[in-house]
Amino acid sequence: SIPLSFFAGIGGASREGVLVKGSNYLETLSQTRYVVFDKTGTMTEGVFEVAGVYDNTLDREKVLEYAALAESSSSHPISRSLQKAYGKEIDRTRVTDVEEISGHGITAKVDGVSVAAGNYKLMKKLGLSYSETDKVGTIVHIAIDGSYEGYILISDKIKPTSAAAIKALKKAGIKGTIMLTGDSRTVADSVAAELGIDEVYSELLPGDKVAKVEELLARKGSKEKLAFVGDGINDAPVLSRADIGIAMGAMGSDAAIEAADVVLMDDNILKISSIMRIAGKTLQIVHQNIVFALGVKVLVLILGALGMANMWEAVFADVGVALLAILNAVRLLSNKKD
């Protein structure tokens, strides 16, 4: 009754395009009451485009050239967007002394000129004044040869299914939705407001995300579970620490997929509510099968002891009950809502 129902539940999830790595994760999903999301690549498409260069004294093309070359050794989506905006072939022989500062940005030398590209924290670290802005998007501040040379605004689009996914989760009984991001407070608050997310924590370093999830885990009830949804290599520690980790399968990093307990094969977060519904239905059928099987067997045992049951009742209590439990579990292979 129990393993068969869980196997059917995992099969039903796979029909939805969701990989569940074990039956125990279905049970955890059915108890999940809080869902924490990473922003970039999870709630947003993770496809960045340069929207403009501001407060620059050098030509726009020159600022983009320095930024693109300095970031050329990075595979981060923001780095790729800078290289795309530059639009020319990257000659990495022009770049030396590259240093990536976690949670800040990159410093390097381009044609012997010192270049720093990153967030405001990097500018503070270098002791440089920088322009404040209320523009919504990812801000990459640029310093060239020790002098501040403006900032590049990079935009990222929200996934069309994100808002519907949040609504579906709340309808499914989720008590709280939380978003964690390393982006600026302005960007994070704007995205959270548009999607209807309950809480948002911004400007977090990779290590800060783990600490924040630890805090959220301590805050929830003992019988309530917390899920984390992410896609990047930096999300792997958080995916492992949460009660259940959910990774993006199409665009997610190998480390995130390996660390996760559940993988969304097409990156559609709208399916999180579907898999939670399947998990709840699985546990419901498990309980139905247990109660029915034990109930019938106990009843036939009592009737047998009283001399009121013959061989046919005994066959039904054994084989018949098993067949009915199988047929009940097979209902999980259907994705129709009850």
If one counts every other C-beta atom within 10 angstroms of the C-beta of residue 211, the result is 13
| 253's tokens | 């990093």
- The catalytically annotated residue of 38, 183, 235, 267 is 38
Q: How far is CA 178 from CA 33, 189, 207, in A?
A: 11, 12, 17
189 is catalytic: no
Strands 138-144 and 147-158: antiparallel
Taken in order 307, 313, 314, 318, is the CA torsion positive or negative? negative
Burial of 133 per CB tally in 10 Å (0-12, 13-18, 19+): middle
For 246, phi then psi, to 5°, come to: -120, 120
- Give the helix/strand (H/E) hosting 192: helix 185-195
Q: How far apart are the first and last CA of the chain?
A: 20
Say if residues 182 and 203 touch (Cβ distance below 8 Å). yes
In whole angstroms, what is the distance from residue 60 CA to residue 232 CA? 31
The residues with which 116 forms a beta bridge, in sequence order, are 107, 143
For 106, phi then psi, to 5°, come to: -135, 140
In whole angstroms, what is the distance from residue 236 CA to residue 245 CA? 9
In whole angstroms, what is the distance from residue 12 CA to residue 284 CA? 14
Say if residues 125 and 138 touch (Cβ distance below 8 Å). no
Tell me which residues are annotated as active site. 38
